[in-house]
Homo-oligomer: A and B are copies of this chain.
């Protein structure tokens, strides 16, 4: 296969972009080289993370939002939109399910919209290890907005918050008793909250519940973000928070199927970007985002390097002793990493 030309990607050539995404997704040598060359050209797109539990109508809302961006009011330019739909369906096989592509069929002929589904990978680094690379390709290729869409609870939402400038969390009325628990976590990462399916009778209650939770002391999203980094940088982390602590998380309502509330959602997403730019929060978000990506790559490299350094067979010997409970996991790690069998 001929090499992908950087200039073609930068000029937004659809075939070059598509092939680049595939190389990056498969973590090939060419993919890594492309990322290396594209990276200086990134940093222009507004990265919008959209996440929500199953049943919230998140996919439909993303479609509606993309349509809105493509058919702006008279006088505004249509935006170029990239979508990375992270699909948790197939952590093992690496194949993305057709569903995401099919549901966006009415957008498929539009050259100003690029949609790519990707599977979320297994344990090693999870969502962000390849997703941040895919986002960088679309960013470098000139897409104005890159939407990162995930089905998520917990982990996925955390990672999206780190990957995006603006994190939108979708809720729907009456999704059962787990919702309460999930909400508490959501409040820590959301920049915007949306109650979709707002034509349902219990929508008002959902909005009120979210608003009440936002008012609880200690539940400001800004108080808690970005703990647990892979390498310490405590002063910067604290600095980050203060700069954009004045953003009030809005609770919006939409009916994705009819488009009600979608222009307002788009406007608030824009308002969040302007807020970040005015307060210095944009740079801080960039730093957190890039730090998260660096940490994932670092971990991967450290594991790879260690793997190539130990004698073949040693890992299996240690694992066998562990399974037979002759040593504990702690001792096993001592032995493997430090070389000492205590």
Interface residues of A (CB under 8 A from B): 32, 35-37, 39-40, 42-43, 53-60, 87-93, 97, 99-100, 103, 120-124, 126-128, 151-156, 158-159, 162, 175-185, 188, 224-225, 227-228, 230-233, 236, 283, 286-287, 290-299, 301-303, 305-307, 315-316, 318-319, 322-323, 325, 328-333, 336-337
Contact = CB atoms under 8 A, between A and B. Distances in A.
A238 to B, nearest CB: 14
A21 to B, nearest CB: 17
Contact of A123 (B89, B158, B183): B158
Contacts of A332: 294, 297
A328 B39 contact: yes
Given A54-B179, A153-B152, A294-B319, A40 B325 contact: yes
Given A176-B57, A319-B294, A181 B330 contact: no
A56 to B, nearest CB: 7
10 contacts: A35-B328, A54-B178, A54-B182, A55-B175, A55-B178, A56-B176, A92-B228, A152-B153, A287-B323, A290-B323
Nearest to A86: B154
Contacts of A53: 53-55, 153, 178
